[in-house]
A and B are shown apart, each in its own frame.
Chain A
Amino acid sequence: MSKYWKEYQKEIADDNYFYVRSCIRQNFFPGAENLFIDILRNKLGKTVFEDADHTTCTGIGYHTDIVPLETTMTVVSRQFALMMEKGYENLVVSCVTSFGLYSEILDMWKHNPELKKKIAGYLAEATGRKFMEPKNMVHASDILYKYRNDIAAIAKHKLVNRHTGEPLKIVDHIGCHYAKTFPERGVGGAEFPQVLTGLITAWGGQTVDYPERRHCCGFGFRNYLVQENRGYSIAQSKIKLESMKPYEPDLMVANCPGCAMFLDRWQYTLEETEGSIYGARGRKIPVVTHEELAGMVLGYDPWEIGLQTHQVEVEDLLDKIGIDYNPELKYADRKGNLIGEPEMIQHHLC
């Protein structure tokens, strides 16, 4: 039986993308966005433009009630103005929070054109700019989904355990703001999305469908950003990790930078606070982003794309897939100089 809704398919532009980066992705996973651009430009032959004047979307400020809605809308209208000025119509958003926010704003403008007119006035007053809505707006993972088979055709590795010949068991986690607000804007909809499952299966892996698959990763802005509420955050991550544990997943992949961050980092915290480990054989479960997953199958150097910045070490995973790496260069800078190892990152074997 199909594990996703075929009814929800969306239009994804073929080429000529205006790419907007994510505040948190470029901090948590500093190699991921450059990797994405490199794949699009140099592996798939697409045109991607980024604008140095692009700013935050204010998403986290908006969701924590720090930034008023009109301010957020004006900032977003400015991003659209930058895109229009450079002659692009197809917006590709790196961050799931931004993607959800842009979707929400476009929907509000659709139902309230007067509001859009008011924001256009604010933008003109503040910057002298005009804007147009994107003709096509997608999340970056949608582009990889669209070209998943092209990537498979040039891939150097498959998501297969080379020791057993079995497909890797992979947990997919979709950011809430990708499709839970607007199911029609996500490939496969809100509850049974296909966007990451499509990547996993096209590249030889197997999706793990576990009971808490659709549960929040634990980020939840108010849960995490208010320090007193962080217990809720880690409790949610724990629910997910406990639910997936019996399936012994080889890795997790997430299209939201916040989700990838928390599913990765909280494993360390849970081990330190409770001694709990959720992977097979007493190992934690590596977590990668959609760009990093693509980079791995395409044969990029794991340290070039930033896999050493993850809390859960990825060496076991690289060995399973058969990806070469130089352990000596894991913590080296681009010139090969060692920059020092972080503390307490060794495997904690049971």
Chain B
Amino acid sequence: MLTEKKHTEPNQFRIAVIGSGPAGISAAISAAAIGMEVDWYDKESRPGGKLNDYHQLFPDREFADLVLDDFTGKADSIRIKKHFGTTITRIESANGQNVLYSNTEVVGRCDSVIVATGFDFFDARIKEEFGYGIYDHVITSPDLEKILKTGHDQLKKGGIAPESMAFVHCVGSRDQQIGINYCSRLCCITGIKQAIEIRELFPSCKVYNFYIDIRAFGSGYEELYRQAQEKYNIHFIRGRVSEASENQQNRIVVKAEDTLMARPLKVTVDWLVLLVGMVPSCTQVSVNQAQCSDPETGFYQLQNPFAGSGLEKPGIFSAGACGGPMSIPEAAASGRSAAIEAWQYLTSR
């Protein structure tokens, strides 16, 4: 008796990748490299996600534009069908087929989906004691990144370089008061990198970093932290900032407690930078009306984190920081992994 041969030709499978940050780009490239038909969606009109707004990347200080060019160059050299400027709001999944919706409109059908919708930055206005959105000279780390990218002269007042600047770690991370208990992992190293950049741009500027504890976990992170102290003389103060306010010169008065010295302190700075954490993206896609998110963190919940990046619904995979705080290399690796897992799923079902 003849048995029907299971089809395993890659181009017979159609896969959708939602999101075009590092994870989405890597997933789309990898899926196309395997030979699958790839439909690539992003709500923006150009790829890259938040990478478009970054200046330099830690720990090696590579320019974000070059990293992005490398990513997009590879994506352009391979056959991927792009649907940029399309916001996918939900997926209806049944019998191994997935229908993609943008609100009520059907915009695509596919055999498998990789969701790589990334993250949002914590809205620093919620920690209102820091005065973000109230005082002009209180900014967030992504704000500073944009300033560094578009022209650091914006940090000068009347053409005069800032005398002092402070960074506040863990704004919107590890904070029971606002219900965000997890660590965003990358804020510490972002603060270290940005503090070094400020010292390079304005050598006479004093820089203070207020931290709970420094979590420099990645390759090269600890080295950069040491360099920040030894070479750049950045003051790392262990203690939470309790309040920021403005004086008559529009400088920011920062109150904190130095928990190593067991003393309260007050320092006046020209700029206060809030190192904001990562929170689930407001554009998370629902699957069959369910959010598929971890009830504690709100990020996508993997069905079995030890086994792979699959969500609860078969054939739908998570890649990158939509599953939790993640660095760019980790997000890219996660995207590649999701593409392979999708391929394995499609060929084994």
Contact = CB atoms under 8 A, between A and B. Distances in A.
Contacts of A7: 125
A52 interface: no
A145 to B, nearest CB: 19
Given A1-B134, A2-B134, A192 B247 contact: no
Nearest to A247: B248
A197 to B, nearest CB: 12
B246 A211 contact: yes
Interface string A186-198: 0001111000000
Contact of B128 (A1, A189, A209, A210): A189
Interface in A1-52: 1-5, 7
A209 B246 contact: yes
Interface in B77-127: 125
B136 interface: yes
A209 B247 CA distance: 8
Contacts of A210: 245, 247-248
B71 interface: no
Contacts of B133: 1-2, 5
A211 B135 contact: no
A230 interface: no
A320 interface: no
A246 interface: yes
Nearest to B245: A211
B245 A183 contact: no
Interface string B148-169: 0000000000000000000000
Nearest to B130: A191
A212 interface: yes
A191 B136 CA distance: 16
B243 interface: yes
B125 A5 contact: yes
B217 to A, nearest CB: 33
A172 B129 CA distance: 17
Nearest to B247: A211
A213 interface: yes
Interface in B200-255: 243, 245-248, 253
Interface residues of A, dominant DSSP? loop
Given A211-B245, A211-B247, A191 B135 contact: no
Interface residues of B, number: 14
Contact of A214 (B125, B135, B136, B245): B245
A1 B248 contact: no
Interface string A242-255: 00001100000000
Contact of A191 (B129, B246, B248, B253): B129
A3 B247 contact: no
B134 A3 contact: yes
A214 B248 CA distance: 16
Contact of B131 (A183, A191, A246): A191
Given A191-B131, A211-B246, 17 more contacts: A1-B136, A2-B133, A3-B134, A4-B134, A5-B125, A5-B128, A7-B125, A183-B128, A190-B128, A192-B131, A209-B245, A210-B247, A211-B247, A211-B253, A214-B129, A246-B248, A247-B248
22 contacts: A1-B133, A1-B136, A2-B133, A2-B134, A5-B125, A5-B128, A5-B133, A5-B134, A190-B128, A192-B134, A209-B245, A209-B246, A210-B245, A210-B248, A211-B245, A211-B247, A211-B253, A213-B245, A214-B129, A214-B243, A246-B248, A247-B248
Closest 5 CB pairs of A and B: A191-B128, A211-B253, A211-B245, A211-B247, A191-B129
Interface of A: 1-5, 7, 183, 189-192, 209-214, 246-247
Interface of B: 125, 128-129, 131, 133-136, 243, 245-248, 253
